[in-house]
Structures are given as C-alpha cells and as structure tokens.
Chain A
C-alpha cells in the first residue's frame, strides 16, 4: 500500500496543482515512479495507491504510465481515493489512511502488507526487507537508513539491540545510540514498513479508538508496539558498495534541488542508469534531443541530463536537468537548474539555480538567480538561493 495523500506543503509552489508524489523528477519521471518501480522490480505487483489531495495529475500519470501490469496474471496498480467508507473526514494520519482502507485489505487478505511512501527517491529491493522480516519472525519490520551520528539532532533515532530488534526511539538526540556494528552511524526510519497483516489490522484498529492519537505510524502505532510485539529494523545497505543506500525524502525545495544535483555526480549519487533496475514512467512520444551548435566557442553542455524532444541552440548548460520538449534559444547561460517539460527559454537568458515548472516562457534576456533582491520581487526564493518559477507563469 503506497501512501500518496500528503499535501507536500514544503514543496510549494511545485505542489500548487499536484500531490507531492506527482511532482516531476529527473526530467522524465514523477516522484512516485521510484517507489512503484521498486515494487515492480521486486516482483511485488499487487499495489494499492492511497490518494486524497490534488490527485488529478497523479491519477492521470498512473493511468497513462502504469497500465502495463497484467490483470490476467493477477497484477494490479489500483488508485484508491479517500472514499469516506468509515469516516466523513479525510485521512487524519498515515495509520488512519490504512484504517479507512481495511476494506481493501479484506478484499486481498495478504499475509504480509508492505506500507510505502509515494514521495521518496531511492532504489531498493523490497525482497531483502521481506526476507529479513520473515527470518526474524517479526510482526513488523521498519526500513531504516544509516545516517552519520552527527546528524542525529535532526530526526528520530531508532535504538536496536545486537539482533536489530527495536528497543526504543530517541527524538532528535544529542547523544544518540549508534548502530550495533558501527559506532559512527545511527538508524533513522525511512517510513516504510512490512507488517504481518493480522497484527497490522489489530494495531490500527486499537489506534483508531484512541482519541489522543494523531493516527500516525511513526508517532503513535509503532511506539505502542515496541513492547507487546516483535519489531525489527532493517538497515538499508547498498548491495554493491556495502554502504548506506541512497534514500531521500525530497520534502523541501532544497532537498528536491539537491537530489537532482546528486543525479549529476558520479560518486555517492543516485543513478537512473541500471539495466537491472529500470525506472518506469509515462513516456509520451517525443523526438530525440536536438543540439544545434554547442561546443564551439564558449558554448558547451556539461554534467547535465536532457530529455527527449528538447532543442538546444548555442548555449552554455552545466549541472542541470532538463525535461522534455524544452526549447533553449541562442546565447543562454543555464547552470544548476531544473527545467521541466514544455518550457521555452528565450535567447540570452541567464538562469542560475532556478527550478522552472512546466509550460513557462522565459523572455529573452531575462536574468534569474543572479541578483537575490531582484528575484525576491518576482519569485519564491528558497535557501540556499534557489528560485522557483511556478507552472504556466507568464511574464508581460
């Protein structure tokens, strides 16, 4: 079950017209494609996506891009909007979202239920998590990302014993409990859970009855399970490097921008280029990217990713991710930018650390990201000086 109902307020204005899982990412994708592709590649193809706010764009993306599962083989991706089956309210929290969809669980009656978030960027084989869960004989196993000990004041730390059974939590501790086999790392929850379904149902029903609960897995349900159930943490380690896996909750504009910059580095980054682990998405028909005279004089493209249908005349482009059907006219200087589909950038424009949402026309000669004071007059500016140009913005 993929939770895709969050508002994503801290990603505004990218979430002005869409739910967070539906925010475009990496030129070709939407954020939810990573979780869905992880499921598909892990051979988990009984998928329910729970949506509520601003779900139109997400719904359309799933219908267009994720219609290749075989119903005849029993595979499915179902989109379930908040149905108000048992409540006249919208989801009060992550656990309430599952409680309100007990009907869906009852229809399928799986032995195990994997609860995922639709707004994380990572590559993970959930079969390792599930194997771990079964081997430990756990009621619940939480995916946990190893983080440097020094960062522990920013999140909740999971405290485990030597067998990785969870014995407690520390909220933003100064002196955190470290991993059993590494004194420099601590474990943070990735917000992904594999439950024995029967335990899941019992615990969310209990939680639904509690008036003082926020009905959140991380805050309420799981802490109450630590003593009565067997709860384990699965450390998310990259199979190849044996280091902490790459995982990002792109919850803020800065994190969203940084995750794109990570795509462009070769070390410690995140890559789409793995034939064994394809990321699926909706691919509209688009011609190949066309480059007109870049590489002569001081025009060049470096450390960038550029999607199909894009035309680039003579310009300088570095450290940028450019989507489909973008037109970059002569003499532009684009650096540290994320440009989404169907954007036109007029000649001699300068864009530095700018996120341009879909369907924007940047006028010729415009400079964004050069003078912070000018930027603040016209746009939302986020630390460290990232400017966001919202979807369909027009300049007179």
Chain B
C-alpha cells in the first residue's frame, strides 16, 4: 500500500494557481528528492499533501484523522521553531508523545543515539548551534517512528559534513523500509542519495524518475536556468553548476 498518494492535488491562492493538479504515489523504500527553483511550490506540495493547507483533489494522508496522520507521517517544517527552553531529550520525546507514547519509549533513545545526541541530551535545545538544533529536530521526527517522513529543506544551513550525514541517514531510513520525501536545493546530494527525483517548475510537475534520467542538460537549463558539468564518481553522479543561462 502506498505511503502517500495524491490524486489531482492542486492549490489556489488569491485566485492564482500555485500548484497545478498533479498525481503521484510514494512507496516504502523510496527516498524521494523534491527539487525545483525557489517558489516552485515544493513546500506547498508537501503541506497540501499533509492537509495543513486547503487544496482540491485528494490526498490520502490529508483525509486521515489527526491521530492517524501523526502515526503515518512525521513532518519536519522548514522553520526550525523551538519556543521554550526545553531539554534535548524532552524535545525528541515530543515525537513519541505524538504517538501517545511516554518519553521513556525505546524510540526516543534510539533516535537520540542515531543522531549522536546522547551527550547533548540534557542540554537546552534552543541554546545549541544551528546545526545541532537541526539534528535535534530530525531526531524528533525519527522518534515519532512513522513509515513516512516529509522534510522541508532539511539541509538548509548545514555544513558539508552534516549535510552528507543527514542525507545518508534519510537514504538509510528509506532502505530500511520507510518512505522519505525531502525538498532539496543541492542537486548533487539529491542525485547521489535519492532513489527518485520529482521536479517542480512554477507549480507544475515537470519530471519524475531516477536522478540520472531526470537531470538532463535540457531540464537544468529550462527549469533551473543553469549550465552544469557532470562528473561520475564512485559515490554517484556529481553536478557542478558552472554558470547561469541568461533567459
């Protein structure tokens, strides 16, 4: 059964079509990268799929009750809000609480361990560095122990090492049988770690498939307005943006 299935989902805002009707399915084992220029509608797509904003068409996820949805999908928003001076352990525990589980549930300790947060467990979460906070919030999503994880720009503001590690984790989670949908700007990392890429351009879905097949020169020029050099490495396809194409 699909983890996420969208049928003619579209979003209008102030009379304008922000997301044109699109349909797609996400299966267990897939690590899907959602790419596209700024304003393409990536965040809108994910929020509409979750039912956080109004949309026409259907999304199986949005139709679930809040509790069932929280058990099916964990959402990692782009805005990294931590309002109160809580400890890291408590914050990660909120993920388990979303499932009605206590802070002592094994999923919490597992999430802390997986993101190397054990030494920081008693620290105040919003006093940590940006990168550390990102790890804490990702651990929360993990502690929610859901089959599907949706992440909005999880790599924003991370140093190269942490970016690679985060992508590695997301890919590993998919390989373990979960489904991951993450919006990304770094095309190289997307190509390297994602099993499938979905490209959005001005609210439309313009490509959907394996990274090598999707990231053609034509698409890069048309959608992103850039010229890239391709390098094949043992780790995977590497894209080096060389210049901007004047439109």
Is this pair of chains taken from one and the same complex? no
Chain A residues with CB under 8 Å of chain B are none
Chain B residues with CB under 8 Å of chain A are none
